[in-house]
Amino acid sequence: IQIGLADCSIEHEQFPYPLEQVSGNLIYTNGHWRFAELRGVKDTAYVVGQGAWNQTDVGELSMRFEATDVPLDDKLRRALKPGAQRLWGNLRPRGSIDHLTIDMRYESNSRNFGLDVRAQKWAPQANLEGRSISFQPTWLPYTWDNVTGSMRYDNGRIELTDVKANHGQTTVALAGQGQFAKDESWQLQFDKFLLSRMKVDRELLGALPSHVAQALARTSFDGQVELEGNVGITGAAGNTPSIRFDV
């Protein structure tokens, strides 16, 4: 059996981010369904996908979607789990992701749901003008522009690789990992954190944690400085995120 799909919509209850104008084929062979050549859109994002529904004792649905030019908007934020939504609210990102891969697995009998998301933002010369990513963390109220790097979210754990951004001439490079708990708390640990070409001025001192700002303010700097170390950040529902600098 082969069923053609045209101008449909797809949305999973565990990841409520509906795809629109979906086309493709639904193929039934020997007790199994296969999704083939799926194509759809979501705002500016273009999405392709494939998957299978295996009618075994477990009843497993597996899907893979690949998307380009995915906007960082409230529709995507609301599709995330509560802990990830809180981190999003504390990062305040804007812009669009160049490439996004989503692997979903769902077992109907146990209702176990697995989500593996990999996101990539390339350097400005490799993506479209006006679609760069910026963010302004609540714990470090500096606006960071031209964000590049990779992110992976795998069932409650997050990994950041080769992330770079700038604030004027100041640049930041970081890498680390984190996790989200069922109580909606979250934590990030940046084992690599490097601030370069940093100008110690009122804007910077006002953004840094008080103990770091006080240490810098007591020192006379001429020109630009560099700050390297590791950073830990934790957050929970109803609480302001706490940050630990070890430099």
Kindly report, residue by residue over 126-154, the tens digit of the pLDDT: 555 557 899 998 877 789 999 999 999 99
Asked if residue 211 lies in contact with residue 225, where contact means CB atoms within 8 angstroms, the answer is no
| Distance set, CA 201 to CA 61, 194, 217, 226 (Å) | 54, 18, 9, 14
Residue 55 has pLDDT above 80, yes or no: no
Q: In terms of Cα–Cα distance, which of 3, 32, 34, 8 is closest to 20? A: 8
pTM of the model: 0.85
Q: Which residues of 140-169 are buried (b: 16+ CB within 10 A; e: fewer)?
A: bebebbbbbbbbbbeeeebebeebbbebee
pLDDT of 130 reads 54
DSSP secondary-structure letter at 126? Answer: G
| Integer Cα distance of 25 and 23 in angstroms | 7
For residue range 66-91, list pLDDT tens digits in order: 999 999 999 999 998 888 888 898 89
* Mean pLDDT confidence for 9-21: 90
Q: Which residues of 74-106 are buried (b: 16+ CB within 10 A; e: fewer)?
A: eebeebbbebbbbbbebbebbbbbbbbebbbbb
* Mean pLDDT confidence for 204-226: 76
In the numeric block, the tokens 């390339």 are attached to: 122
DSSP secondary-structure letter at 144? Answer: B
* Mean pLDDT confidence for 108-131: 80
* Mean pLDDT confidence for 42-50: 94
Residues paired with residue 184 on neighbouring β-strands, in sequence order: none
Query: Within 10 A of 197 (CB to CB), how many other CB atoms are there?
Result: 14
pLDDT of 105 reads 92
175 CB-near residues (< 8 Å, 6+ apart): 160, 161, 162, 163, 190, 191, 192
Q: Which residue has the higher pLDDT, 211 or 14?
A: 14
Alpha-helical runs (H) found in the chain: 74-78, 82-91, 202-207, 210-217
Q: Which of 168-177, 181-190, 232-241 has the highest mean pLDDT?
A: 168-177
- The confidence band for 125, taking pLDDT boundaries of 50, 70 and 90, is low
**Do strands 93-94 and 32-42 pair parallel, antiparallel, or not at all (unpaired)?**
unpaired
Quick one: 129 exposed, middle or buried, by C-beta within 10 A (0-12, 13-18, 19+)? exposed
Q: Which residue has the higher pLDDT, 58 or 66?
A: 66
User: 37: phi > 0 → left, psi -120 to 50 → alpha, else beta; which?
Assistant: left
